[in-house]
Every structure is written in structure tokens, then in C-alpha cells.
Amino acid sequence: MNEGRWLQVGGAGGILFVVLQFGFSLVGASGEPPFDASAKDWLTSYRNSHDLFLAVPYVAGLPLLGFVLFVCALHVKLRVAGNSEHVPSIAVLLFGGVAAAMLLASIGSGAAALLRVGHGLDESGASTLSGLANEFFVMSWFAIGGLLLGAGLGAVSSHTLPTWLGWSGSVIGLGSVAAVAGQLTAFWLIPFWLFYAWVVAVSVALIRGARSTPMPS
């Protein structure tokens, strides 16, 4: 596929990522304990959700396929032909990969707890696995912040994306990093949802920009 087609695929992947994540977040958040819930609460939650242990990895992991396509397309978009300064585009690719890996690790930890229900999972095990799942998720905010900062600064300097997307991405990126310190408060939800909105806006820009990308001769 040519570059324009990849930008369209990445833009569609970004929108798919947000739609699926938004939907699954609304469904899953209703019965999931808070980060600092007791071990007993987490064990009860895992027991109540045990029948979903086969579906959870697929349902939670599928959106990340769209996210990876989005990151790759954004990396391609930020590369400026003839410009030796590729740091922002490389940062987007690296931080995006790390974020996806951390989110997959978070999903895997939660799925492991569901799998062990009825096979020796006690409060201690539930506490450990829930702690791993939550902190992998929280630490992914550092990577998401790096992705946003790289994309934001790259967009501002290269003008490959609208300037407002560059500056807003940088601000949301700083908020994502700061949210790690406020993980036990509602503050983390602000950059979390703003990140989703930013991904949709950039995805639309990628799809529109693909139409003006010259076809290879």
C-alpha cells in the first residue's frame, strides 16, 4: 500500500481504538473496584467475572491493534522528507510501542486472575494481580504522555498536522504524566478522556491528509 493508504488505515485504526475502548470502559467500569480497593473486594470482583476469562483478553486487546496502526500512521505523518530531525516521529513510535506493551501487560494480569478463580486464587493472589494490572495501566500514562509530547512538538515544528493539535497534544501529554501522581483521585480521568478525544481528532486529520498525499509514480 502507498503512504496515503496507510494514513487512512491508521486513522481508521485510531477511531476504532477509541470507540472500542470507550465502550469497554463504560461496561467494565461499572463493576470494577477502585485502584485502592481491599483484597477482598478484588477477589469478589474476579469471582463474579470468572466466566469472562476467555473473552476478556480478546475484548480488551483488540482495541490495541487499532492503536498500534494509529501510532504507525502518526509516525509516518511526522516524518518530514529531506529533514534529518526525526526525533519526534521516532519518539511517537517508541512511546506508542511501550504504551501498547504496558496496556497488554495490564490486561494479561487481570486475565490471569480470572483464570485462577477456582484454582487457588485467594485474597493475597487477587491483591497481587490486581496491583500489577492497575500499576501497569498507570505506568502506561508515562508512555502515553511521551507519545503526546513527541507528536505535539513534532506537529508544531513540522506543520504536518494542525498547530492546535500539536499544542493540545503537548498539554494533554503533560497532564498524563502528572496524572500518575493523582491516580487515587478523579484527576487522572481528565487527561485520560482528553487523550481519546485527541486521538479521534488526529485520526480525522490523518484520513483527510491522506487524500492530498501524492500517489507513487
What is residue 42's predicted lDDT score, i.e. its pLDDT?
85
Q: How confident is the model at residue 27 (pLDDT cuts 50, 70, 90)?
A: low
Q: What are the extents of the domains in the chain?
A: 3-211
Distance CA 197, CA 38 (A): 32
| Tens of pLDDT, residues 147-203 | 999 999 999 988 889 999 999 999 999 999 999 999 888 899 999 999 999 999 999
pTM: 0.87
| Tens of pLDDT, residues 71-125 | 999 999 998 644 556 889 999 999 999 999 999 999 888 888 888 887 778 888 8
Burial of 71 (0-12, 13-18, 19+ CB in 10 A): buried
Burial of 54 (0-12, 13-18, 19+ CB in 10 A): exposed
Mean of pLDDT values over 28-55? 75
**Residue given cell 502528572 in the structure block:** 178
CB atoms within 10 A of CB 94: 16
Q: What is the DSSP string of 19-46?
A: HHHHHHHHHHHTTPPPTT--HHHHHHHH
